Structure formats: structure tokens, C-alpha cells
Chains A and B, each alone.
Chain A
Amino acid sequence: MYDLIIIGGGPAGVAAGVYASRKKLNALLLTKDFGGQAVASAKIENFIGHTVITGLELAKVLEGQLRAQQNIEIKDGISVTAVAKSDGGFVVTDSKGETYRTKTVLMTLGSAYKHLDVPGEKEYSGKGVFYCSTCDAPLMQGKVAVVIGGGNSGLEAARDLLPFASKIYVLEYAPTLKGDAVTQEMLRKEANVEIIANAETKEIFGVDFVQGLKYEDRTSGAEKLIHAEGIFVAIGMRPNSDVVKGLVDMTSFGNIVVDHKTMQTSVKGIWAAGDITDGSYNQINMAIGEAIKAVLNIHEHLFTGEV
């Protein structure tokens, strides 16, 4: 039986793995990939210790540090399909059907792109509806693109589109943009960027591929059309918490509720850290700190025999 199973290989999972190894816990880390959603970032300028690093470089640095540890078992290329209580701990099942028994679990599965849930989104996903701007912005050469969401990820998507798209609309539901002031200022200086606030996206339409979208002007109530070949959805993230749904307490958005002093969930023996939790700020640096806090608390519990 393992002391600890860490589920997820993003910044939080890797930080947990490093600390678990140094505490000589009998630990296993299960993950699909390394780096988490930060992988898709073209440029990360606020990761402390690196002035600038790409998401992919960060993923490699994290994986390298984890693999350099002596005492941690790693299984990658798989996903976790179930976590269930059992005698004296938990049973974790992976997508290959293998099961593992453990005294404690740390959930670090992070989050994934949130969907709009409007007609046409699913149908045209990959056919003009995109979620990864660094991947797909280069395909917008000379085309009209719409970014939905005026937070940091939306503004970054608009920035990624600047060298390619002929015209970029940024649609924000609220009256003002939430993204960093520095990026807002930069975008407002660009002649081909148009920011539309108070806009609620209603429908994405097309034939075979995207042709545009309909939105409601929330101040006048009028329905408006934008013709575009690319729609980049950047309205935030949703936690990857489905695997422990019904097991631990969650918010209505699916974020795992934790005690922020210890990162313990409502179930004794399960901890959570990073974007999957109900923490206020989704940051790589924060996820790392939270995961370390969790492992130190887990170690204390295992040491005092309280789990």
C-alpha cells in the first residue's frame, strides 16, 4: 500500500512529488502528461525564478526535476478513472484498469478550458472554434477572428492573433475587461483590435466550418452578428474534478473545497492543491505552494498515525 498517490502532473503535482520524495514517502504519481495547462502558454513572465519561460520549457523543467528524485514512482500516459474509499485508505483505478491502494490521495488535476455551452460550439470545435491560441492563431492569416473573454487568457489570445488576423474582436460579458492593464493598453493601441464589452455570445454559426457568431448587446438588448472564420474561447477554466465527484465536497463550479491552512478536503485522507481547489487565485506559483503545504501536512498525518 502506498503512503500517498498524487493524481496530476502539472506544477502542483510535480511540486508534491519532489517533496514526497524528499520526505521518503512511499509515493506514486499518476498523470497523463507533465506541465498541465501552462504548456500552451507562449510566454510565462511571472513564474518566479525564470524571467521568461515558455509553457513547454516549464513542462520539461518540471518533468526533469521530478524524474531526478530517488523515491518516487511515476506512471505517465494514463488517466485516473476512479478514486474510492476502501479499508484503511483508498483505491485508485487508472485508464488501463490497474488499481492501486494508498493511505492518502492528493488531487492536483488542475483545470481545463471552460466551454461557452452555446449552440454551434461543439459542432464547430476544431472547425473554427478554438481553445488554444498559440496552436491555432497562425491559421488565421488574413482572416477575421473573435476572442470571447476579456480576462488574461482572452487578452493573450488577442495578442497571439495580432501577427496574423486582419481584424480581431474581443467580446467581454462584463462592462469592463478583467485582464492585466498592461496587455489592455497594448491591444487598445492596435488599429485592427475592437473591444466590445457587455456582449453575451448566443450562437456560433457556419456551414462545415465557422462563419461567425451572434451576440446580444447587454445594454440595448439588440442581437448582433459578427462574421469571422475563427472563434477563440477564453472564458476561464473549469476544474478537472469529475473523478472525485460525490466523494469530496465541491463548489457549484466543481472546485474542491479545502481547508486552506492544510489543503485537506472534506474527506479524511484526501488533499487537493492548485487550480482544482476553491482557492481564489489560479497561478502556477500558488499551485506549487499549495501542493507543498499539502504534502507537509500529509507527512505529519502519516507520521502521527492520524490517517
Chain B
Amino acid sequence: MVTIYSTNTCAYCIMAKDYFKEKGVEFVEKNVQMDHDAAKEMVEKTHQLGVPVIDINGTIILGFDREAIDKALVN
């Protein structure tokens, strides 16, 4: 399961979502700007305040890092 935590104006979040779409990877987007529960969940689960934070089956990736995403998807 892939979850991406995002804000409205975050370009790297859009790039990450586009990348998942391009690869045909299904993901859930949680907008931490609009949804306070999602913001709380992001902080509790990942101990991060900055976006994008991507959770790929428990592997937490900070920022848009294609190599890290590819590696986590293979695992």
C-alpha cells in the first residue's frame, strides 16, 4: 500500500503522484493541509512535518526520490 502525504502547493508532491500514475502504482493521497487528522497521522507515523512524505508498505521516503521509490516498490 502506497500513501503520499501532500500539501496543495507542493511541486514535489505532484511530481511523485505523476510518477506513480506513470508507473501504474495505486496510491492514497492524504492532504495534510486540508485534513488535520491526516496531518496528525503523518507526524505520529513518520515523525516528519515536511512534505512530501511517502509510505510504501512501511518504508518511509522523504521528498521525491525516484531511486528510493523504485527500490521500495521492488521490495
Contacts and interface: CB of A to CB of B under 8 A. Distances in A.
A136 B32 CA distance: 10
Contacts of A160: 9
A54 interface: yes
B15 A134 contact: no
Interface residues of B, number: 23
B54 to A, nearest CB: 13
A135 B9 contact: yes
Given A77-B70, A126-B49, A139 B7 contact: yes
B48 interface: yes
A141 B35 CA distance: 12
A137 B8 CA distance: 10
B2 interface: no
Interface string A265-295: 0000000000000000000000000000000
A208 interface: yes
B73 interface: no
A130 B8 CA distance: 16
A141 B8 CA distance: 13
Given A33-B15, A39-B15, A79-B67, A138 B9 contact: yes
A160 B14 CA distance: 18
Given A33-B66, A79-B67, A95-B67, A135 B47 contact: no
A139 B39 contact: yes
A39 B11 contact: yes
A132 B7 CA distance: 12
Contacts of A2: none
B67 A126 contact: no
Given A132-B50, A208-B47, A139 B32 contact: yes
A56 B14 CA distance: 8
Contacts of A130: 49-50
B47 A127 contact: yes
Given A40-B12, A135-B50, A138-B9, 5 more contacts: A95-B67, A135-B9, A135-B52, A138-B10, A139-B50
